[in-house]
A and B are shown apart, each in its own frame.
Chain A
Amino acid sequence: MPWFAGLLLLTGGPILASLFLSFTDFDLLTTPSWVGLDNYARIMDDPHFGNAVRITMIYVVASVPLSGGFALLVAVLLNRPMRGVGVYRAAYYLPSLLGGSVAVAILWRQIFGPDGLVNDVLSAFGIVGPSWISTPEYAIYTLVALHIWQFGSPMLIFLAGLKQIPAELYDAAAVDGAGKVRAFFQITLPMLSPIIFFNLVLQTVNAFKAFTPAFILSGGTGGPADSTLFYTLYIYQEGFGNFRMGYASALAWILLLVTAVFTALAFRSSRYWVHYAD
């Protein structure tokens, strides 16, 4: 089982190492020294911690439902028989292939910059737009927009799910006089609920882990005024920028626990709204 050895060495090893380091004072350059729970105590009175949690929660809460809803909408539209549907599906999937990349984040910086595309369009309507990425109130939402734009992967999964719904159900509903909207809420959504659940969990975990867009958009600072300081970016700054790898490891373990709690909550709630057709 070579893959298992790989998992153990390349993933398990670092995970255990970071657990150990989270109980040490480790500055990257000298030997770690054991400090017990000091790092976890330090988190309690760190003003950046609360801010990073707040920013990350805004990102998760805003981007997961919006991108999921958008992906579902597009999937439903692309599920209808029409000419050249394959081309459309490929075209809509494209941003997901590029989305996590550095190049797109740089492109985003141009689009939402003071002289960017968005403000060019606004100025055509006589509106003078702010510099979206360098104003704390808006910067985080440009990142949310970037996330929504990458709806391709959940869209594909939704599409596969839509194909699984037996056509007889819709035929029967039509015979009974149900309209399109009624059919969507009474048939499509319940039949799709396992897929929705799957996407919800996956997208939530991904949103908690988001790093690249904030790093590129803010030049690694999480600025302006900490408004894009994602939790992962803060971990990176503390560990690699400020020589506090022990503290960064403790922060990383908190993230793991929080993500696990959210996933557990999603699983717990699933019995009330996810319907398995078996």
Chain B
Amino acid sequence: MRPQFSIIFFTTLAGMAQGLLLGLILLKIFDAFLPGDFVIQLGLPVAFFLLCLGLFASFFHLGHPEKAWRAVMMWRTSWLSREVIALPLLMTIVMVIYFTTSWMEVPLWLWFVLLLANLFLWLCTAKIYQSIQFIQEWSHPSTLLNFIFLGITSGWILMEILILLSNNLPQKIPFSIFSTLALLFLSLACLLKLWTWKRNKGLKPKSNLASATGIKGNNIRQISMGFMGGSFNTREFFHHQSTYFIQNIRNIVLVCAYLLPFILIVISFFLLPTMMLVLSLCIHYGGLIAERWLFFAEANHPQNLYYQRVA
């Protein structure tokens, strides 16, 4: 598929916001290694801001953004429609909690509602891709897990940075536990990615020219796709890059999304923690963009069987 930057920015920014929210909720539910002010006054607004950015980016995906409200209509059947509902819902709940604190203690159940809405948005986002059964690279639970793992990782590192910058260091536990967890999340995400690449490599396409055309006989090949110019079919479903380019992106993902951030977080145990974590998040986010780009590029759409030759 053709990687689309609107969706790449949306999924990575919203994912980071959701990871941050999950971290904040965990801190809140397991009460309070941190002053409550941090979660409310800094954590929630930052998450809200990221979600706004993601929402803004997603509009660029649409041919008719002015009609975007219509996308809430088919929530019964469409995961995309559900996502369009889930995102503003999550943003509303974040705001409700933020404003509730000014006049009362936020009840615990409201945090659980936030947790559910957070998980629901992940489910919707991933299911959009996972539910297309003939894109075999996407049609697997690893799609959902990958979105969640990477969201948690980036959001967690962001939360650490916010904690350090606002000088809200935890009182009952050492801060190094946070970074250790970040390393754990990063490793899990990396293992999943390596496994996914291995799975993709071994996939056998269920469709081929014989099933696509029904032509009997062997050695079926296309002579002409029927036109010499471009069309939506030749643009939308392929990344238009060389294998060499794709291989390089794969290396960039491995180094920037996983390896370098890992090393930098390890260094942050010993010196310049804030700076190392900021650097690690910046590089990790760059890697995330490459990772999401590759997520699209690696997806093989069976319609490409019909568009192989120009003559």
Partners in one complex: no
Q: Which A residues lie at the B interface, using CB under 8 A?
A: none
B residues adjacent to A (C-beta < 8 A):
none
